[in-house]
Structure 1
Amino acid sequence: MTIVKILEIVAILVGAFSGFIEARSKKMDVVGIFTVAFITAFGGGTLRDILLDRRPLFWVEHQEYAILIFLLAMVAAPAIRTLRKIISERLIVTADALGLGLFSIVGVSQALEAGMPLFIASMMGVITGIFGGVLRDIVCNEIPMVLRDGKPYAICSFAGCWMYLLMQKTGVPADFALWSSALGITAFRMVTWAKGVKIE
């Protein structure tokens, strides 16, 4: 299994977790929980694949991803109510930030693999990183967080994608470039959230 696939699987799980929590906070039933988790986990990657003209879509090619989210939703529906009592806002933001980092770097690396120019590759990373969360918020009847809270979100993704691209161009080992860039995005998002940084 390649490092990109490992990153993708972890990102899907983290994205699904974010979807589970948000859906449960809206008092959705098991169908709603599965739907929100599914679009959060797969929304960004699906748009990326469509724009890159990749077929089949990544979650169609790997049906085990969709099956995993389905099974987790069955477990999550009764468990999330209890978990919300012990899950802090920081943990939820951390999961969201980790998903942003992982999805963004998976997106930019796959765009490079498809032969996209550097700027387009970086934008594919941003799209992969943020679009699942945008869909999650829309389905949950919220203005997408990336558009409303003023805190760096897409900017964190964009900066991390360029960090990865620069490391690629300077001969940094691929595995290190992937992991360090993903964690860099996560750390950037967490620091700006903790410090209350806003871009008005």
Structure 2
Amino acid sequence: MVGDIPFEPVLEIVGVGVGAMSGALAAVRKQFDVFGIFVLGWAAGLGGGLLRDVLIGAVPPVGISDWRLIVTALVGALVMYFFHPRLQRARRFIVVLDAGALAVFTVVGTVKGLEYGTTAVAAVIVGVITGAGGGVLRDLLTGEVPVVLHDRQLYAVPALLGAAATTGLWIAGRPTPLVLSAVVLGVFALRVLSLRFRLHAPGPWRGRP
């Protein structure tokens, strides 16, 4: 909680909804049945949070205990179940949803790790895992190589920078909701701009030509 405002829970609910929509839309593109769509929506929306809570010792993990987040994930999947005819061909829409989930979960995961008393380094790692975890589970369940590991896309880098910025702001003094929102927007913008301008991480070093 930032100050007296329950900011992180609200932000986490937003992230779960966005992530679930991304997962459900990916399931639709793979022609999953209704059960598969809901499972993938749940996994993409809550997978990163599950991994985070296991790592920091938060029991039970919110992904299986917080009814608000579970309902949010199911509603996000339900939206995609009914509206997919307009969206299933829009690959860019999945990418935008995924970028939004990455940004939100990175900040939320980092803050929760810090609230549980982790070190700064551990908080950054937890933030990155929270941000990328749902997308990794989504890709694995749809038979895809996780985007964080291939195509040299700037996926983990925005999460790493966002987690580091959040940790730095926390150490300097508990950040306000406005400041955290700015970090979320920064991570989102960096991810989207890296796709727009085809910015890539370096590939394997092949020696001097």
Q: TM-score range by the shorter chain?
A: over 0.9
Matches for 1:42-121 after TM superposition, within 5 Å: 42-85=46-89, 88-121=90-123
In the alignment, does 2:17 pair up with 1:13? Answer: yes
CA displacement at 1:75 relative to structure 2: 4.6
SS of the equivalent of 1:168 reads helix
> Which of the residues 3, 9, 13 maps onto 2:7?
3
Q: 1:40 to 1:115 in 2, by over 3 A?
A: same
CA displacement at 1:112 relative to structure 2: 0.3
SS of the equivalent of 1:149 reads coil
CA displacement at 1:165 relative to structure 2: 1.8
Show the counterpart of 1:23: 27
Show the counterpart of 1:154: 156
Unaligned runs of 5+ in 1: none
Which deviations, in whole Å up to 9, do the C-alpha atoms of 1:125-179 show, x marking residues without a partner? 0000001111111110011111112011111100011111222233374212311
Tell me the matched-pair count.
198
Bigger drift between 160-169 and 138-147 goes to 160-169
Show the counterpart of 1:168: 170
TM-score (norm 1): 0.92
CA displacement at 1:181 relative to structure 2: 1.0
Does structure 1 retain, via aligned residues, the 8 Å contact 2:24–2:37?
yes
- CA-based RMSD: 1.6
Unaligned runs of 5+ in 2: 204-209
Distance 2:79 2:172 in 1: 45
Matches for 1:127-142 after TM superposition, within 5 Å: 127-142=129-144
Show the counterpart of 2:36: 32
Does structure 1 retain, via aligned residues, the 8 Å contact 2:162–2:186?
yes
In structure 1, what residue type is equivalent to 2:26? E
In structure 2, what residue type is equivalent to 1:64? R
CA displacement at 1:67 relative to structure 2: 2.7
Does structure 1 retain, via aligned residues, the 8 Å contact 2:110–2:123?
yes
Which deviations, in whole Å up to 9, do the C-alpha atoms of 1:82-104 show, x marking residues without a partner? 3335xx33332221111101000
Show the counterpart of 2:207: none
Moved >6 Å (runs of 4+): none
Q: Percent identity?
A: 33
Show the counterpart of 2:125: 123
Distance 2:164 2:78 in 1: 38
CA displacement at 1:71 relative to structure 2: 4.2
Distance 1:174 1:43 in 2: 26
In structure 2, what residue type is equivalent to 1:124? V
TM-score (norm 2): 0.88
